[in-house]
Amino acid sequence: MKLIFGDNQFFGINHMSEEKAQALSERFSKLDSVINVIDHAYEAGIRDFMFTTHDRVQQICDHFRQHPNRYRGIRLYPAMPYAHKYANLVADKGVMGAVVDVLRGDGSSSGALRAMLHAGRGALQQDPITIMRLLVDAELRMFHDLQVEAIFLQNIVTDLLLGLGARNAFEEFVSYARRQHGVDAGFITMNLPLLASYLRTCGVERPLLCASFNKSGYLMNPSRASYEALIQEGGQRFVAMSIFASGAVTPAEAVAYVRGFRNIEAILFGASSKLHIEETVGYFQERAVAVPA
Amino acid sequence: MDDATFKSAPQLLRGAIVGLGRMGLTHLAILRGHPLVASLAVVETSACFAKAVEKNLEIPCYRSIDDLLHSTSPDFLIVATPTQTHYTIAMLALERGIHTFIEKPLSMSAAESAALVQAAKAQGVVAQVGYVNRFNEIFAAVRSLLHSGELGKPTYISCDIRSPMVVRSSAHGWRSRKSDGGGCLGDIASHGIDLLNFLAGPPLGVLGASLQSLVSEDVEDRVDALLAYKDLTATLHVNWSDPSCRKPAYRLNIETQRGRIVADQHAYKVFRTSATTQGYATDWSTVYIPDIASPVRMYVRGNEFTRQLDSFIDSIVLRHTDAVSDLASAAEVDKVIEQIRATGERTRLR
């Protein structure tokens, strides 16, 4: 079971409390404090890191590129998009206006984009798959020259597309990532059983899925039991997140719970101090779970 | 809804969503897989976007509400268009006996909203407004605690809302145009007014208000109001141009005869006054959302968005016309909006 270090804490994201979220946001306002925590994770043996395509991640990536020896063997899992970047744009300019804005802001000289912008919004709107490819390229640009292990679609988009029934988007996200960027593509979701069965009908083989998995059933829709049955059954590559249910489950309980299931490929967790990182890594080591070297 | 009710449901429902902006798309995603919804159509005025939706999602798309109602007879309609169009569309639907869900705020004026309330009543249909906070577990729990009487009566409530929604001047979009129903007051501040109504009932009046434009040209970006109730005062402070927060953040402070409650969307803490309490930290108890949240059928953007639509569909099937967040309660919000606007415009700051 691999440990992937997540980044929610760096951007003031805490599902349990706005006060805690605000405190984190203030604490990590300087890049140095973020790098400091990443270093603690690296020193604790963690080599896998998930980063949302937040503007600030650009600086973290620059830092990795400037110090290749210090972060030898590091593997990144970009999760896209950073949704709030789009949400306000969509409210302001509509879905298409937001897309055009982001692609323009990307400064991409992509011929496809220029051709589409030239042909007008009409052309863009008729071809959402091309838009998706351009957005994937734009979001991935900040990770250039770093080892990207797999990319993930954030749950806000995954679950919206799932609800809308945008079948092509799922197939294409996976095949485009492989074809164009040579990486696996996965989906973060708050609706794991529904997504897993939908992807089967889309013909996506052994999908890479990331979802909440904790003893208290928090953010496990429609039920904890349906998640447990799916994980037991296998058929997908599964990354468990929110194993502490934002603090509702103790570390010992959380680890014991996920250890009760085979078919969990990795655990995604976040921590904001050396102590918490070492504690979490320790819990997994104690139980003879290999932490990647 | 339990299995027995499901089996006895008379028929599956046909619905339509008018307007595919941020909320329209969210509603579509939540409802498309609903077990009691047989089919969905959409109305979208942008021809290109409509074509893309038709082609890629295989959903029938109509260019206008008239086209839709001419070609189909939906059981329910979701109105997710700019506020200025709510009255006309909702009235068309209600008069045809179509169950209607309307995004907030209900309309452009208290008079229009009162007419919609009457129409819904006359037809005996289910009609609900998108005041989604009523379906947030924390706010619902705070209301239950307050109404239980354990803490005595509330004496003061403040509702603060900050959002980074409009952080720079922009001529785009209906939300920046007063004539379309844009502005912070009708937008996110209406959520705050409804939340106060949800907790304390409608106010007796607005004692003072101010509307400020911070970055917008045509609309207010900041709303402050002082509301009067019997034995209770409430304040509302809303800023939708606050770049210091990542997403909309609510903060409720409720002072009561025997305690205090502080709440946001994810947690609330309670101070209970007793003979032994002296303001120690241990006198506070906190409830976090993972402690009380229960899962939903299909999660898109937050549990409460699913709960509000599932409640709407359940009300239709069960023929409950007293939906949570019905038109009458939403019309109360419009009254307060009108009073705040009238008071605020007299003292408009720039």
Tens digits of residue pLDDT in B239-267? 999 988 878 999 999 999 999 999 999 89
Q: What is the pLDDT of residues A214-223, one digit of tens each?
A: 999 999 999 9
For chain B, give every domain's residue range. Answer: 3-132+302-326, 134-295+334-346
Does A94 contact B26 at a Cβ distance shorter than 8 Å?
Answer: no
Count how many residues are written for chain B.
Answer: 350
Q: Rounded CA gap, B264 and B286, in Å?
A: 12
**Is the pLDDT at A5 greater than 50, yes or no?**
yes
Determine contact, residues A169/A148, Cβ cutoff 8 Å.
no
Closest C-alpha among B314, B255, B254, B287 to residue B36: B314
Q: Which of B106, B111, B119 is nearest to B191 (CA)?
A: B106
The tokens describing B14, both together, are 């046909």
Superfamily the domain B134-295+334-346 falls into: Dihydrodipicolinate Reductase; domain 2 (3.30.360.10)
Kindly determine whether residue B265 and residue A122, on different chains, have CB atoms separated by under 8 Å: no
CATH code for residues B3-132+302-326? 3.40.50.720
The verdict on residue A215 lying in a domain is yes
SS3 A220: coil
The pLDDT value recorded for residue B287 is 92
Residue A131: per-residue pLDDT: 81
Name the maximum alpha-carbon separation found in chain A: 60
Q: In chain B, what percentage of residues exceed pLDDT 70?
A: 93
In this predicted structure, what is the pLDDT of residue A290? Answer: 45
Residue A290 lies in a domain: no
Which pLDDT score is estimated for A125?
A: 62
Residue A149 lies in a domain: yes
Q: How far is residue B269 from each of residues A129, A172, B253, B297, measured CA to CA in Å?
A: 46, 46, 10, 28
Supply the mean pLDDT for chain B.
92
Mean pLDDT of the region A111-133: 67
Of B246, B265, B289, the CB nearest to A12: B246
Sign of CA dihedral A84, A85, A90, A93: positive
> Is residue B345 pLDDT above 90, yes or no?
no
The answer, yes or no, to whether residue A293 has pLDDT greater than 50, is no
Interchain CB contact of B295 with A (< 8 Å): yes
| Domain housing A79 | 2-282
Does some domain include residue A289? Answer: no
Contact A218 B33 (CB under 8 A): no
Provide the number of structural domains found in chain A.
Answer: 1
At residue A17, the pLDDT reads 65
CB nearest B300 (choices: A21, A91, A160): A160
Q: Is residue A146 part of a domain?
A: yes
pLDDT at A292 over 50: no
Inter-chain CB proximity B299 and A159 less than 8 Å: yes
Q: Is residue A180 part of a domain?
A: yes
Complex ipTM, two decimals?
0.91
Structure confidence at residue A144 (pLDDT): 95
Q: Chain B, 92-121: which have a CB under 8 Å from a chain A CB?
A: none
Whether residue A96 lies inside any domain: the answer is: yes
The whole-number pLDDT of residue A21 equals 72
**A288: in domain:** no
